[in-house]
């Protein structure tokens, strides 16, 4: 139950994401990768939820949502 959250503002934190997604289902994990060289957020994140239902619900409600001046992109994550 992993999904990709892209087009994030660099001001959006892990905490912000967790709060957003928790409103649509049970969030089990949030990961915000930072650039290995610059230490800067990369502008996207990964959220894991407890079920596909939660995931679909969150995607349907949050994809395209304007947060911090940017429209979120939410969909199922690709394999790493």
CA distance 53 to 43: 26
| Least distance between DNA and beta carbon 19 (Å) | 19
Q: Mask: binding to DNA, 15-34, rule CB under 7 A, as x and -?
A: ----------------x-xx
E strands in 1-80: 2-6, 27-31, 45-49, 66-67, 70-71, 73-76
Yes or no: say if 54 and 16 are a contact pair by the CB < 8 Å rule. Answer: no
| Least distance between DNA and beta carbon 46 (Å) | 4
Binding site for DNA (CB under 7 A): 2, 4, 6-10, 31, 33-34, 36, 42-44, 46, 48, 70, 73, 75, 77-80
């Amino acid at each position: 139950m992993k999904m990709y959250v892209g087009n994030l503002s660099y001001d959006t934190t892990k905490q912000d994401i967790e709060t957003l997604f928790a409103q649509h289902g049970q969030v089990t994990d949030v990961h915000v990768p930072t650039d290995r060289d610059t230490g800067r957020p990369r502008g996207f994140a990964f959220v894991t939820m407890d079920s596909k239902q939660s995931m679909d619900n969150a995607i349907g409600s949050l994809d395209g949502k304007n947060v911090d001046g940017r429209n979120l992109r939410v969909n199922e994550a690709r394999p790493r």
